[in-house]
Amino acid sequence: MPRPVDEQLCSRLREIAREHTRWGYRRATVALRREGVEVNRKRVQRLWRQEGLRVPQKARKRRRGQSTDTGGARRRAQHPREVWAIDFQFDATNDGRQLKSLNIVDEHTRQALATEVSRACDADGLLRVLDRLQAKYGAPRFLVTI
């Protein structure tokens, strides 16, 4: 049978959980101690669990490439030259110097349209590669980065 002190403590814990929805039993313990209640952390933890109090889990971040109009699913390319994917990769040689790689792939055909490897990678270099690809294949409808 619960002690009257436990019932009072449980009601105060429910109030704290209602006022501060992101707090757990540890913060509630600190709040109780600041109010002058001499209470053990383990006791608060036991009562917190017994009352079924929980901190709601944070919503997970949505993965990139998803839009709300398609129900969160990333659109797939339906024909060639609709979507080109641009990816940058970085590596290092044995002597520790940076090596940078630019890859452009047609999402529908999975054809590697361009792979450029160099020590430096900048926007002007990307635009030069895209201009060259546009002259050869035509312009894509969408460019996505991976």
Where does the pLDDT of residue 77 fall: very low under 50, low under 70, confident under 90, or very high at 90 and above? confident
Tell me what pLDDT residue 68 has. 54
Task: Quote the pLDDT of residue 102.
Answer: 94
| Number of other CB atoms surrounding residue 77 within 10 Å | 19
Please tell me which residue, 51 or 2, carries the higher pLDDT value: 51
* Closest C-alpha among 65, 61, 64 to residue 142: 65
Predicted pLDDT at 2: 60
pTM of whole model > 0.85?
Answer: no
C-alpha 115 chain-centroid distance:
28
Instruction: Assess contact for 90 and 98: CB atoms under 8 A.
Output: yes
